[in-house]
Structure 1
Amino acid sequence: MAKQWLTCRECHYVVDPDTQSCPNCGSSSLTEDWAGYVIIAHPETSEIAQKMEVTEPGKYALKVR
């Protein structure tokens, strides 16, 4: 069975299941309880990135519980 991706509760960055802390913000508060994600390639020109307050490219969860 495939491992569940983890998401940072602070910045919503989606990380590998073996990760201990978020490489984006440094938080160790990671969860498997999230839904949907968006890939942001160019946050400086993305309207979605502005609404989500994202400054780094990557995968971000839309809903984190």
Structure 2
Amino acid sequence: MATRLVCRDCHRVLDVEGDEQCPACGSNSLTEDWAGYVVIAHPEESEIAEAMEVTEAGRYALKVR
């Protein structure tokens, strides 16, 4: 069963199995310690995406520890 982890570097929410890398940025720094969730469909039109410095559509955590 996949575990929901978040990349500490780009905050992307991932469904992973075991030790994996973030497909977005390549980081190995994944965590289960996060809060808040936002789905960004059109980053070029989103003020939230701009504030989070997100340029790709996807699922992102708002707070990562």
Normalised TM-score (structure 1): 0.91
1:1-65 superposed matches below 5 A: 4-18=3-17, 20-65=20-65
How many angstroms apart in 2 are the aligned matches of 1:31 and 1:55? 22
How many angstroms apart in 2 are the aligned matches of 1:30 and 1:4? 11
Unaligned runs of 5+ residues in structure 1 are: none
Give the length in aligned residue pairs.
64
Runs of 4+ in 1 over 6 A off after TM superposition: none
Q: CA RMSD in A?
A: 1.4
1:16 Cα deviation (Å)? Answer: 0.7
SS of 1:49's equivalent?
Answer: helix
Normalised TM-score (structure 2): 0.91
Identity %: 67
1:17 Cα deviation (Å)? Answer: 2.8
Task: Pick the structure with more strand per residue.
Answer: 2
